Structure 1
């Protein structure tokens, strides 16, 4: 009768070495391609929250009048407007000087025009709240700057700098016209 040979079961040394090399390559690919995606996802979340913060402040600013010397109900004449005798319109009051931008002695809920927001930061109170921006947006930095971008005073540039927890500074700009 024939001889019964049973095949040996297991791995050879060469198969083990090749398997470890393949596993090593796979781990290197995972650590270099897949794991950094988590960091990028966090950056995206920081950018979205940054935009949310800036957008909420811009919405609030847009609801205010252009200048404290402008008619609160709009209409003519706007501050800085030249007289139009041909239309029977007087000259508007002078617009606020850029050196006087900021809230002055106004409480946070009493801001009345665009330039009152100059200097608003993460330590400022949120509108109609006892919380500060730093309480709701921890680890975010905020700075609102208002300026006249041109020699005439017919528009104001609102620049909102938001620094994310990862240190990225994102600037949101809006131009408000005097009308």
Structure 2
């Protein structure tokens, strides 16, 4: 109705109580979202670091896998060293004396390879291409015909990830 010819319209707006309840609901939603989303972003970063660590280890293992079992193994691997038709296998683990990174020709030469080593056919170290990553290759005999190749890559977050392969004398 109208009072003195002026129509009265209902006031539209929020009461103080409605505003306070709205702010409380909004703040609870923000807290819940931030507690769910922030850990997810950390998880995504860790996943990317793990992928890079796997990439690094796989590239090193692929290179090692293409080398001979031993210094005394012929180029095509036949006859295998230590076999009745072959020569004796060497017992030396690690690079041969005077052997540079580009001269690694058998699996055990890679023992001790790390992030400060030069990449194959390069003057660049692994550390320059994989900053803040650390890795170490160790090679050991399991028995006379098998060597264990262990590559441990440590991500920038400090998470060590181990990759192992067994190379057989065939």
Instruction: Figure out how many residues of one structure are paired with residues of the other and give that number.
Output: 166
Give the alignment of 1:1-179 within 5 angstroms: 2-3=2-3, 4-76=7-79, 78-81=80-83, 83=84, 90=85, 92-97=86-91, 100-104=92-96, 105-149=98-142, 152-179=143-170
3-state SS of the aligned residue for 1:68?
coil
Q: Over the residues paired in the alignment, what is the CA RMSD in angstroms?
A: 1.4
| Bigger fraction of residues in strand | 2
Q: CA deviation at 1:34?
A: 1.4
**Which 5+ residue runs of structure 2 have no aligned equivalent?**
none
Cα distance in structure 1, aligned partners of 2:154 and 2:57: 11
Cα distance in structure 2, aligned partners of 1:60 and 1:96: 21
3-state SS of the aligned residue for 1:60?
helix
Cα distance in structure 2, aligned partners of 1:5 and 1:113: 95
